A and B are shown apart, each in its own frame.
Chain A
């Protein structure tokens, strides 16, 4: 029944089609086509996708003009023309042809031209030649390296030490060996450039705290703790490190280690301590800031220092527990991928350690000299002393900046130059202004060594005072 009705409707429709006028059919046809078009076409174009033709690409390549590889350096750039030192940079130094007393090299213990050190290095040179021709892994490990590592570990009273062939690369390789992406590093704002580069290489989250401000550090640690409570699963795999310097290269101040150790256990963050300035300087035996404060060295997870200051050789080392240090032998980039330290430099460092161990009084002498010049340099109008009185490297900054860094640098350079003319060799602390995370203000760095006599220290202080007065007033 139903089908019959449908059939009837169909017949009727076909009939209607025949009867309809032509114009009607045409119009309807057009309408149907229009609807179909509307259905299938987009109302707007998402993106004009037209691939570049080969010719257009060639034009683009032709048109592209790169910047020069390096921008031109102005001829009067303050850092372009280096001072030329002829002969050894020891206590007496010849800078640009003029003999001066050296107040600029980090030769704190005067070991640079020590005859014993030289003799040890010479003996090594005669046995091993100069270079090692290989990294530690591939026949670049010499017995001297093992000796030096052993001696450093014993000297620092730690389980193990590892040596690097370049001071800068030591902490810069050590940090990324442990701290990875996602880990959190709390670091002092005044941290030196090597630490900054190590942090950058580690790609960890970096939290800067105010220089030596433990309250600020604790605030950050607390913030992190709250954060961790929100996401405990993530917190379980997020390592936390505190990176500080023993004596700060950029400020000459000492870190408050006892408080840091307390915070370490409270918030379960490991401490990495950079001791390039404090090793061989602070403490009764020159073991650095841990000895200075009487802190158990095992409470510090990793200590790194270079052998280029107090030890007057080249290279650096890290020391700590084997659990920590041994990891660097496969993961410390500057250790694995670089040629090892020339044996003569390792031998020199061993002999320097011997001398340090035999003359523990030397550190008290150094401290006394630091105190003396510190006192003598107080009260210069226009210049202020920045840094601890026990630090052998400290800064003289302008009391009041002229407002422009360039002008400040020029003024300080004038002081340095005039001091140099009066036989006191000084230098400004140099920084890469655009690269530093927190650029320290321009300063003259004064370095005290045990070789400087009381009169020389007095003379240096009075010279600086007179020159500063002439230049700044």
Chain B
């Protein structure tokens, strides 16, 4: 249910029913708007020119009514039992396992709200074994998991000392397969480690600006096709510590409802006004833009100083890809600025692995702030921001991260440099290009097979993040455990990372997955799918692939 420490859980606001209720596709498409029409033609133009022309095929199949009802019933039963067990615990009939306050501090105001804990205690705890599974190997295509047992219904775990070897890893964000302990990246990182050590012990502005950092930033800028770039020690902090440098009071942030927690935190810390538009819904975005400019700030009616649109390349819980051409058309029409978070899409999308801009064949100049992380495709850690020289100069002087946080560890920097050069083909091999192609192939194959089996799969057919809908709370635990029994590690997520009835399993594809691995995984998923009756889809046929872009039956959504 609870994603546990949910990796890339998105903040959810209540989703308007109108989007989901009646229709297969829930992205509003602006047929009437001139900007969007222009965008559409631009897309076609851009794609027709590029080699990777593909219709934008993104689907979110409607939740079957019966399933929705049963899911609610499931939560109802869980809640009832939760109250019952709380009652038993209160009267000491059932043993309490959770840690308690110190005796000396019993009269302090209680540290937690009780409701928050109700969920953790009674729902999350039942299936806690599906998260935080400790591993003891490279998070590659196969991974070794430490076996653990619980003798008190998941309140505590004991390690048995056994290691479950060679579990197929469908959970790590190892898109291009750079999480490796051999090969050129490891060797280069090892060399730098010997030379530099691991720490830096200072900030970029003080005395922690190593030559390696400068080298990395120059390379990132070249990779992205932007004037300059800056790298930071943590992906999450890249968002939360830089957005406040860009906007402030009197500015407006338009944020997708499913944006990652780091973007939400950054937006909040900035002090700017935040308005939320529906997920990937251009009509909703355009309306907000129009209203913002026409009506200005609330009460004072002063015009906004600037408007910043926050979107992600690939949404990690939905598997959807941002409608970038349309977003760019809108941002140009309304003179807003665009902040694109490519945490999941950099390396994983586009014919050359340059992310979502490359995927649509657009100009990186059109995106004002190109943000991304090194954690995923590059198998390292940290994040970057790329853009115009003025932007980066400003961030060098005003980014919270540059002034107050320790800079990137040198061996990590070297891993990024080597893997990035590999993707760019600068290492003299075509290895990087092959990885990018392999990932794209794996993605399409895996998604297609799952759809053919009859699962409800969310998202874009080119997105390596593949959510498989489970819906019912009991199935979250069951799916995770059954898959592990069959030697496959998957990620399952539920409320609050997803809307309450849309619990799901999520697969992340990797270039390191061979066809054989994928086939094994698919076979087992098929089996578990039958066992748990997960094949909800009523569209056995895969939608036609060559349907023209602008004739798709997008549904108009009401604001």
B-binding residues in A (CB < 8 A):
52, 57, 60-61, 64-73, 77, 79-80, 82-90, 93, 95, 102, 104-107, 111-114, 117-118, 121-122, 125-143, 145-146, 165-169, 178, 180, 192-194, 197, 200-201, 235-240, 265, 268-270, 298, 306, 308-309, 311-314, 321-324, 326-327, 329-330, 333-339, 341-342, 344-345, 348, 425, 427-432, 435, 445
In-complex Cβ contact of B189 among A69, A125, A330 (8 A): A125
- Contacting A at CB under 8 A, from B304-332, are 304-308
In-complex Cβ contact of B261 among A65, A197, A333 (8 A): A333
Minimum distance in angstroms from A334 CB to a CB of chain B:
6
In-complex Cβ contact of B134 among A77, A143, A166, A313 (8 A): A143
Minimum distance in angstroms from A204 CB to a CB of chain B:
13
Which B residues are in CB contact (< 8 Å) with A165? 234, 381
Q: Indicate if B262 sits at the interface (CB-CB under 8 A).
A: yes
Contact call B209/A70, Cβ cutoff below 8 A: no
Which B residues are in CB contact (< 8 Å) with A341? 381
Which B residues are in CB contact (< 8 Å) with A65? 335
Query: Can you name 24 A-B pairs with beta carbons within 8 Å?
Result: A64-B304, A69-B308, A73-B397, A113-B196, A127-B181, A130-B380, A131-B381, A132-B381, A133-B172, A134-B171, A135-B7, A138-B131, A139-B139, A167-B406, A194-B404, A197-B269, A268-B108, A323-B102, A337-B8, A338-B237, A339-B235, A341-B381, A427-B207, A430-B206
Binds A, one of B197-205, B275-283, B420-428: B197-205
Q: Can you add 12 more A-B contacts, CB < 8 Å, to A126-B190, A312-B197, A314-B198?
A: A68-B390, A73-B393, A80-B396, A85-B208, A122-B193, A131-B381, A137-B132, A140-B139, A165-B381, A239-B109, A313-B198, A323-B100
Which A residues are in CB contact (< 8 Å) with B120? 330
Contact call B237/A334, Cβ cutoff below 8 A: yes
Which A residues are in CB contact (< 8 Å) with B145? 139
Q: A133 with B139: in contact, given A121-B411, A270-B108 (CB under 8 Å)?
A: yes
Contact call B409/A345, Cβ cutoff below 8 A: yes
Which chain B residue shows the least CB distance to A61? B293
Which B residues are in CB contact (< 8 Å) with A132? 139, 172, 375, 381
Contact call A89/B202, Cβ cutoff below 8 A: yes
Which B residues are in CB contact (< 8 Å) with A138? 6-7, 131, 171-172, 491
**Distance of A68 Cα from B406 Cα, bound (Å):** 29
Contact call B200/A105, Cβ cutoff below 8 A: yes
**Distance of A179 Cα from B158 Cα, bound (Å):** 32
Contact call B306/A67, Cβ cutoff below 8 A: yes
Minimum distance in angstroms from A68 CB to a CB of chain B:
8
10 residue pairs, one from A and one from B, having the closest CB atoms: A137-B5, A135-B7, A70-B394, A166-B234, A338-B236, A336-B5, A312-B199, A323-B99, A105-B201, A339-B375
Which B residues are in CB contact (< 8 Å) with A338? 234-237, 262
Contact call B236/A334, Cβ cutoff below 8 A: yes
Which chain B residue shows the least CB distance to A75? B393
Which A residues are in CB contact (< 8 Å) with B172? 132-134, 138-140
Minimum distance in angstroms from A206 CB to a CB of chain B:
14
Which B residues are in CB contact (< 8 Å) with A60? 293-294
Which chain A residue shows the least CB distance to B120? A330
Contact call B211/A66, Cβ cutoff below 8 A: no
Contact call B107/A268, Cβ cutoff below 8 A: yes
In-complex Cβ contact of A86 among B101, B211, B411 (8 A): B211
In-complex Cβ contact of B303 among A64, A89, A125, A335 (8 A): A64
Q: Indicate if B9 sits at the interface (CB-CB under 8 A).
A: yes
Contact call B415/A130, Cβ cutoff below 8 A: yes
- Contacting A at CB under 8 A, from B80-103, are 99-102
Contact call B5/A240, Cβ cutoff below 8 A: no
- Contacting A at CB under 8 A, from B119-133, are 120, 124, 131-133
Which A residues are in CB contact (< 8 Å) with B395? 70
In-complex Cβ contact of B393 among A52, A80, A169, A428 (8 A): A80
Q: Indicate if B48 sits at the interface (CB-CB under 8 A).
A: no
Q: Indicate if B554 sits at the interface (CB-CB under 8 A).
A: no
Which A residues are in CB contact (< 8 Å) with B261? 333, 336-337
Q: Indicate if B463 sits at the interface (CB-CB under 8 A).
A: no
Which A residues are in CB contact (< 8 Å) with B390? 68, 70, 72-73
**Distance of A342 Cα from B196 Cα, bound (Å):** 16
Which B residues are in CB contact (< 8 Å) with A240? 109
Q: Indicate if B489 sits at the interface (CB-CB under 8 A).
A: yes
Which A residues are in CB contact (< 8 Å) with B303? 64
Contact call A106/B202, Cβ cutoff below 8 A: yes
Which B residues are in CB contact (< 8 Å) with A135? 5-8
Contact call B174/A133, Cβ cutoff below 8 A: yes
Contact call B8/A342, Cβ cutoff below 8 A: no
- Contacting A at CB under 8 A, from B1-53, are 2-9
**Distance of A318 Cα from B37 Cα, bound (Å):** 52
Q: A131 with B379: in contact, given A143-B135, A200-B269, A348-B198 (CB under 8 Å)?
A: yes
**Distance of A28 Cα from B123 Cα, bound (Å):** 80
**Distance of A125 Cα from B268 Cα, bound (Å):** 37
**Distance of A428 Cα from B412 Cα, bound (Å):** 27
**Distance of A430 Cα from B205 Cα, bound (Å):** 7
Which B residues are in CB contact (< 8 Å) with A137? 3-7, 131-132, 491
**Distance of A32 Cα from B204 Cα, bound (Å):** 84
